[in-house]
């Protein structure tokens, strides 16, 4: 199974990147093939001008298309996910997440922004036809601390939630991919009911 990690932070060193890295390590330990898209490394001009034919943008969109599941991480700014992530998601085809299980992750300065996952990010992921969006993991600055060496460290509570989220992501993605192999879709017009 291939899982694509999408980093929506404009900073290379950030708490949301620490969450994403932590999920990536957990996925690899459980045998998943993990790839990543660092939106901040895509060509800025192409992002802003919506040039989907530009090499880095086209390659990132192809990675999204090929992945079985997606993990999206973003910092929360002004009660919403990052503008950088928004620009990238806007460039994807309308059905870019069709058939995929998605795990959203976010970080913010306080617990007051926790609902940004449900009220700002989830609707956009839904509009991209995600099959299943898992409950997100939100962490505050106090839950991802900086070590004396300058690295980010996820606290035990968030670490446990990430363990659960990764387990659910793998189970859901596997279940949904194997369900498609067993049954063909039935058009609604052919469904017969009796009451």
Residue 25 sits in a domain whose CATH number is 3.40.50.360
Domain extent for 131: 2-190
Which residue in the block uniquely carries the two structure tokens 């469904």?
191
Which residue in the block uniquely carries the two structure tokens 């409950």?
135
Mean pLDDT (whole number) for 153-176: 91
Q: With respect to residue 82, please indicate whether it lies within any of the assigned structural domains.
A: yes
Is pLDDT of 36 > 60?
yes
Mean pLDDT (whole number) for 61-88: 95
Provide the domain count of the chain: 1
Mean pLDDT (whole number) for 46-63: 96
Q: With respect to residue 49, please indicate whether it lies within any of the assigned structural domains.
A: yes
Which residues lie across from 3 on neighbouring strands? 34, 69
Query: How far, in Å, are 39, 93, 178 from residue 72 at the CA level?
Result: 11, 17, 23
Mean pLDDT (whole number) for 131-138: 94
Name the pLDDT band for 78 (thresholds 50, 70, 90): confident
Q: With respect to residue 41, please indicate whether it lies within any of the assigned structural domains.
A: yes
- Asked if 73 and 7 touch (Cβ cutoff 8 Å), the reply is yes
Name the pLDDT band for 37 (thresholds 50, 70, 90): very high
Q: With respect to residue 195, please indicate whether it lies within any of the assigned structural domains.
A: no
Tokens of 22: 């932590």
Do the strands 2-7 and 137-140 form a parallel or antiparallel pair, or are they unpaired? unpaired
């Amino acid at each position: 199974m291939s899982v694509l990690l999408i980093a929506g932070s404009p900073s290379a060193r950030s708490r949301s990147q620490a969450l994403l890295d932590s999920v990536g390590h957990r996925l690899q330990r459980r045998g998943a093939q993990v790839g990543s898209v660092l939106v901040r490394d895509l060509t800025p001009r192409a992002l802003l001008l919506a040039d989907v034919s530009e090499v880095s943008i086209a390659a990132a969109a192809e990675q999204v298309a090929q992945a079985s599941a997606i993990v999206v991480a973003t910092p929360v700014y002004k009660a919403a996910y990052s503008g950088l992530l928004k620009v990238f998601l806007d460039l994807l085809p309308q059905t870019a997440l069709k058939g995929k299980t998605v795990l959203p992750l976010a970080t913010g300065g306080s617990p007051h922004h926790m609902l940004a996952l449900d009220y700002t990010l989830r609707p956009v992921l839904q509009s991209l036809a995600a099959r299943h969006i898992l409950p997100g993991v939100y962490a505050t600055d106090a839950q991802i601390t900086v070590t004396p060496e300058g690295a980010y460290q996820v606290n035990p509570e968030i670490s446990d939630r990430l363990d659960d989220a990764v387990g659910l992501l793998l189970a859901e993605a596997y279940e949904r991919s194997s369900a498609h192999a067993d049954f063909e879709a039935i058009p609604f017009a052919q469904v017969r009911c009796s009451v």
